Structure 1
């Protein structure tokens, strides 16, 4: 592989106040093209940038978007898709941007959402000389073996569906998944299931049905993550409060009445529940109604890139995922570490490093491991399933946590909207106050250092003059 590659970054100087020396607001790009994160981070690019007169930089993560090394996806080169390489990319980039624009004495504040939030927090911990603070939104830095219950994501997501759609919605999803799983073993039902979901291709095997189950489960789980209070286009086109709307669609499917039950067959009951499941999930991937048929191999990530992320989860970020049937309305599936490891070895020739992130960055005991960290705000939304692996309690007075009621995945980084819950508006105010404090403290230190250096220089000249006068 070539020794160098082009790393894309975006610069926004719309509000930059060169006269007062505004700070740099640096977004640590994560698993996708950087434009998608820029377009969905208006709190940074507009609200904070205008308030602070800031110079805004959004950096693209290597192996995503257009920042892909030549032959980078060949197996022998996948080792270069590592978090340490990414962090050093961003260190070198901020050094370059500062020098190029004469901003060497301006503070740089990190931002990131989700995996980007993990990077923001870790870079503040590892490189405090380059980054003077970090807002780490929806950052699941504890989602690793030994620190997370594998069923945590679907446990939280199930709770969101129940709270917004009631027991009827919860039960409809649960029974729908149960019946869809049972169809795996009856090929005579495959054609009708294909019709219900409007699939592009025939179902021909249990594996095909499992692919459908996984697709539907991922669609509903993602919907819980981006359950925003207004219409968005982040992953797919979605209405306001999509979980609530999804449950509304599910409830439109009528139950089989008592007469139907007497005359019907068990298969009819299965299909009734599966129809409810389809109605709920359809909103996630076909809210506009423009989808001609459902292609199970299509990427569901929207602006996110699943291929690169799969490689990272097979290397440094194996995140345990499973279901607890006693809590979840999703399909029951245990976390199988052996099977996950075998798949990674087959696909990428990699053995997942299950303990690496916790060994290198810490997190098994956050209060101890992060006690020396400073100038970090960890924010997590109550509705976001990822909050289960995030920091939700203050570590120190300088490393704090915001647990935001009625908020989904990094909603606080999005542009303020009239539909935002009060809790999100209040959280943004806290984040802005901390950013201002970090900027002010750094500028004060720089000014003090400049005065000290000036005094040293004057003192040195005075000594030289005295020496000359002595001769």
Structure 2
């Protein structure tokens, strides 16, 4: 029997947010979307198809470290939890040579999934004689306080220890303890991270400069907060990715929203939409279908890699091009909605394994990423009028706050991240207080609009790839890698070499004193 495929749209930053949508047509309107796709939080669960994928296998040991549940309390009976981490010393040159430690800042998901999809770190470790360390982010994977996922995510009392600040402290305590036990206190640490992990890598370099000599922050939208960047940036970039492939494809998608609403208003309209999109269960509202499509288009923009990949779903190279070819290439007489279904099937069913599709992932689930979105990871998003293929929308903080209070009993703090890690003028903050950070971005990635895209100083560097997608540089090397990607990785290696050389020179001078 063919497998049902889940929509996988509990994505992001946690990343996000409440959107109130209104159609461009005065006669039709879309209801408010209180919980749109959380694109970073997508990684809090492995893709449903991951058991079918052939992943690169890297050698590592799985270990556990007893972490304080609250690093910022001094209670005598403070509870702890077991943090999972992956470690490989296969190529480590050892403490005698002050060989480096490459630490990947775990994201909002299973750490083994990130380890398997971060080939760059593994591939350059032999060159540097580096140890490789992948600590898991608290509340994700197997690093669960209170004994189980259900207990950890039970309510605001148990979830209150899930913050970026606590996670960074976990990384700092773990690597400090590890270095002490290995007599490797002099070994420099280089941080790596992609997406939310890239944000953590950049923030850790700022907060713990004595622990790490530098950070490679790939696709890290550290500017996606408050109004530092326009809230429509993300969805405008998604739209641009489709427009650059085909203006007719872009227009078909833009027209499809009214077609969906119009069909849904008809007698038996939801049943017809269920059939058109091959859904496993009767559609209850057009909004469920709209969310499903938003997710597909957004993910496709994130993973528009130039070669076949299986990061989120098994996909061909240049998947947006493939989607638009399906939409544009449908035979005469094919309806708009049938064209849309053919297109999104590239994302949801490229392998052809699915007979039907499930739309029942619950974005209101008490999972870790939704909690982070409702507390400190508040990233406003909206859709612009005219230039977007999505219906116009505006972020409504009041509605979002109300929904978070209903779901978790907490009120979001949209200004906390800028208070904690740097305010609106974060670039000045980085220039004055920061050093040795690479912000790498692919301009096809819709998250690039919230990242650092210009050099800030000689040591805080922005590497931009016009044809790059979501942390393309961190993915395993392939024979299909374009020249620009090979060159970008070579530049990153040279910069890391520079950090380490400066560190060793400083150590030599200290020893000579």
What interval of TM-score do these two structures reach, taking the shorter chain for normalisation? 0.7 to 0.9
Name the SS for the 2:388 alignment partner.
coil
Q: Taking structure 1 as reference, are residues 306 and 253 closer, same or farther at Cα in structure 2, changes over 3 Å only?
A: farther
Q: Note if 1:168 corresponds to 2:251.
A: no
Cα shift at 1:59: 0.9
Map 1:346-385; keep pairs closer than 5 Å.
Answer: 346-371=406-431, 372-385=433-446
Q: Note if 1:392 corresponds to 2:453.
A: yes
- The answer for the alignment partner of 1:193 in structure 2 is 273
Cα shift at 1:39: 0.7
- The answer for the alignment partner of 1:315 in structure 2 is 375
Cα shift at 1:80: 0.4
State whether residues 264 and 273 of structure 2, in contact with CA within 8 Å, keep that contact through their aligned partners in structure 1.
Answer: no
> Which structure is larger by alpha-carbon Rg, 1 or 2?
1
Name the SS for the 2:367 alignment partner.
helix
What is the TM-score normalised by the length of structure 1? 0.88
Cα shift at 1:101: 2.2
Map 1:288-437; keep pairs closer than 5 Å.
Answer: 288-298=351-361, 307-371=367-431, 372-437=433-498
In 2, the alpha carbon distance for the partners of 1:78 and 1:143 equals 23
Q: Taking structure 1 as reference, are residues 218 and 155 closer, same or farther at Cα in structure 2, changes over 3 Å only?
A: same
State whether residues 407 and 421 of structure 1, in contact with CA within 8 Å, keep that contact through their aligned partners in structure 2.
Answer: no
Cα shift at 1:250: 1.3
- Structure 1 residues not aligned, in runs of 5+: 257-270, 453-471
Cα shift at 1:150: 1.7
What is the TM-score normalised by the length of structure 2? 0.81
In 1, the alpha carbon distance for the partners of 2:386 and 2:195 equals 28
Question: What is the number of residues matched between the two proteins?
Answer: 429
State whether residues 193 and 201 of structure 2, in contact with CA within 8 Å, keep that contact through their aligned partners in structure 1.
Answer: yes
Name the SS for the 2:393 alignment partner.
coil
Name the SS for the 2:180 alignment partner.
helix
Map 1:262-301; keep pairs closer than 5 Å.
Answer: 272-298=335-361
Name the SS for the 2:355 alignment partner.
coil
Q: Note if 1:62 corresponds to 2:135.
A: no
Q: 1:112 aligns with which of 193, 197, 204?
A: 193
Deviations 1:7-60 (A, max 9, x none): 0110122322236442100000011100111111111111x2021011000111
In 1, the alpha carbon distance for the partners of 2:238 and 2:377 equals 21
Give the CA RMSD over aligned residues: 1.8
Any runs of at least 4 consecutive aligned residues in structure 1 with deviations exceeding 6 A, and if so which? none
Cα shift at 1:363: 4.2
Q: Note if 1:239 corresponds to 2:316.
A: yes
In 1, the alpha carbon distance for the partners of 2:318 and 2:342 equals 16
State whether residues 159 and 368 of structure 2, in contact with CA within 8 Å, keep that contact through their aligned partners in structure 1.
Answer: no
State whether residues 405 and 423 of structure 1, in contact with CA within 8 Å, keep that contact through their aligned partners in structure 2.
Answer: no
Deviations 1:185-204 (A, max 9, x none): 33432111101111111124
Q: Note if 1:6 corresponds to 2:6.
A: no
- The answer for the alignment partner of 1:50 in structure 2 is 126
- Structure 2 residues not aligned, in runs of 5+: 1-68, 70-77
Name the SS for the 1:339 alignment partner.
helix
